[in-house]
Structure 1
């Protein structure tokens, strides 16, 4: 299992609430989290597909930079 990390433009709890249904559909509930406290607003996805994550964020009106596998 590999985790993916993305730099995003998700800024606050309201933004997280907006992307929640899209990310839950794409990668499953409890398989992702956003660190809105970090300067890079990092989205971490457990065992997800990079393309699906980016598409889900775009549908919600947000974007993600290239991922980093960990």
Structure 2
């Protein structure tokens, strides 16, 4: 299992609710969480997903992500 981290523009619980179905539908994502208290709003993804796959799915949900 690989851990990927992304700087995002996910700011609040409502944003997390919006991205939840998108990230949960990815078979390659086993778990994920967003640290909305950090300045970079870091999304941590565990599983076998690739960085472009996660960035693309967040884009479809209306959010930006940059691998860190």
Instruction: Report deviation, 1:38.
Output: 0.6
Moved over 4 A (4+): none
**Equivalent in the alignment of 1:20:** 20
- Give the paired residue count: 66
Task: Report the TM-score when normalising by structure 2.
Answer: 0.87
**Structure 1 CA distance for aligned equivalents of residues 61 and 50 of structure 2:** 17
User: What displacement does 1:59 show?
Assistant: 0.6
Compare the two structures and name the one with the higher strand fraction.
2
1:1-23 deviations in whole A, cap 9, x for unaligned?
A: 22000000000000000000001
Structure 2: unaligned runs, 5 residues or longer? none
Structure 1 gaps, min length 5:
none
State the alpha-carbon separation in 1 of the partners of residues 24 and 57 from structure 2: 9
